Amino acid sequence: MPIVDIHTHIYPPSYVDLLRTRKIVPYIRTFADAPDSSRLIILPGEDDPSTPSTSRGRPIGPEYYDIAQKIAFMDQHKIDKSVISLANPWLDFLPADEAGEAARKINDDVNEICAKWEGRLYAFGTLPLSAKTDTIVSEIHRLKGLKYMRGVILGTSGLGAGLDDPALDPVWSALQETGQLIFLHPHYGLPKEVYGPRANEYGHVLPLALGFPLETTIAVSRMLLSGVWDRFTKLNVLLAHSGGTLPFLAGRLESCVLHDGHMKSAGTRDNRRSVWDVLKTNIYLDAVVYSEVGLKAAVEASGADRLLFGTDHPFFPPLEEDVEEWHSVNANYTAISKAFNDDERAKDVLGNNAVRILRLDE
């Protein structure tokens, strides 16, 4: 039985070079007060100049860009194959006239990395979303021809107005037509003020533990409400972090739609598909949820045949020195093992689903 990690990120050298040239978020820099290590600053609000550089962003070491470390991590954790994706924030920040070329270069680089580890690595590509729509659509068709690509990773901002923007229809259409999976992943979280005046005391906990999954939930709900899946009935999306919170909130979301006076009086679309229908037909969930409770809810919502193991490497490494096995990875392994009593469904989630859905035997 293969074990496949479908949620694992990489900063390929061309992306690292790009981030090192920048002075505003996102960027990589070595600060004067800590010359021995570079910092990766990617999240809004991580770049507070009043704080010491060691509390800004996170140290970036070779685990972020050296593929040999990814392979060593896979070996350590018995992972046979990984479907790597560019780490957030992808390319949304690039000027329109630079995005297309940057995406081609990064996608080619990632594809080459996979070629060097034939059979062990596949990838999700990155789209030049700030470019013209035809540039984006061209890259989608080009990705289809790259041997190790199996879909695209996508943030929640779309072309700048979110994923309920009708201007995205050509992008959805091209992805549906070429049968490429969208890996929907958060980056921006929520506005800082929602965490209150003491949020800094909790480090990155509130933005990462709550902001990320809530961002995903809002994004996928906007896709549902605007009818993306009513128009593109074969568009497939893999939601990061087991759907954010969608499995838990799907019932409330559906109830609120059915009880909303404005939506009713505006006229419900005849072809409106329920949240549950889309969850069981178009949505896949990763199993990066760190608990048996969350994992079981994900299974109930979309089915054990639609759930895929992941690690979120290189994020959430052990804080202790000299610990080789990652607690964050083992939390997800343990949840799968317990939820299924290690039966056939565990094997499906750990690898068989990914092989089937992403054609990893080709």
Q: Which 192-251 residues touch its own copies, going by CB under 8 A?
A: 193-198, 201-206, 208-210, 213-215, 217-218, 221-222, 225-226, 241-242, 245, 247-251
Binding mask 134-163 for its own copies (x = CB under 8 A): ---------------------------xx-
Label residues 256-291 b or e (16+ Cβ within 10 Å = b): ebeeeeeeeeeeeeeeeeebeebbeebbbbbbbbbe
Q: What are phi and psi of 99, to 5 degrees?
A: -65, -45
**Sites for its own copies among residues 43-82 (CB under 8 A):** 55, 58
Which of residues 117 and 248 has its CB atom nearest to its own copies in the complex? Answer: 248
> Smallest distance from the beta carbon of 182 to its own copies, in angstroms?
18
Q: Are strands 27-29 and 39-41 parallel, antiparallel or unpaired?
A: antiparallel
User: Could you say which of 23, 259, 322, 324 contacts its own copies (CB under 8 A)?
Assistant: 259
Question: Which CB atom, from 17 or from 300, has the smaller least distance to its own copies?
Answer: 300
Q: Which is nearer to its own copies, 31 or 202 (CB)?
A: 202
Please identify, using beta-carbon distances, which residue of 119 and 166 lies nearer to its own copies: 166
Interface residues for its own copies in 267-326 (CB under 8 A)?
289-294, 296-297, 300-301, 316-319
Other beta carbons within 10 angstroms of residue 101's beta carbon come to 13
Alpha-carbon span 219 to 156, nearest angstrom: 6
Buried b (16+ CB within 10 A) or exposed e, 38-53: bbbbbbeebbeeeeeb
Q: How far is the CB of 11 from its own copies (least distance, A)?
A: 19
Least gap, CB of 256 to its own copies (angstroms): 4
- What is the total count of residues that contact its own copies (CB under 8 A)? 72
Smallest gap from Cβ 37 to its own copies, in A, equals 13
329-348: contacts with its own copies (CB under 8 A): 331, 335
Q: How far is the CB of 292 from its own copies (least distance, A)?
A: 7
> For residue 192, what are the contacts with CB-CB under 8 A and spacing of at least 6?
44, 45, 199, 207
- Contact indicator for 137, 129 with CB cutoff of 8 Å: no
Q: Residue 146 or residue 218: which is nearer to its own copies going by CB? A: 218
Least Å distance, CB 320 to its own copies, is: 9
Q: Which position among 22, 132, 264, 359 is part of the footprint of its own copies (CB under 8 A)?
A: 264
Q: Which CB sits closer to its own copies, 120 or 316?
A: 316
If the CB atoms of residues 40 and 121 are measured against its own copies, the closer one turns out to be 40
Q: Which H or E element spans position 149?
A: strand 149-154
Rank residues 11 and 188 by Cβ distance to its own copies and give the closer one.
188
What is the arrangement of strands in the sheet containing 4-10, beginning at the earlier edge strand? 4-10, 81-86, 121-126, 149-154, 181-184, 237-239, 283-286, 307-308
Q: What is the rounded CA–CA span in Å between residue 224 and residue 228?
A: 6
Residue 66 neighbours by CB distance under 10 Å: 15
User: In a 3-state reduction of DSSP, which class is residue 205?
Assistant: helix
In the complex, what is the shortest distance from the CB of residue 186 to its own copies, in angstroms, rounded to a whole number?
A: 12
Q: Is residue 260 a contact point for its own copies (CB under 8 A)?
A: yes
Nearer Cβ to its own copies (1/205): 205
Exposed/middle/buried for 305, CB within 10 Å: 0-12, 13-18, 19+?
middle
Residue 259, SS3?
coil
Q: Which stretch binds its own copies (CB under 8 A): 17-25, 167-175, 188-196, 230-238?
A: 188-196
The answer to whether 99 and 134 are in contact (CB under 8 A) is no
User: What whole-number distance in Å separates Cα of residue 95 and Cα of residue 148?
Assistant: 27
Give the residue with the Cβ less far from its own copies, 30 or 255: 255
Q: Which residue has the tokens 């979280």?
A: 189
Each residue 86-125 as x (binds its own copies by CB under 8 A) or -, in order, gives ----------------------------------------
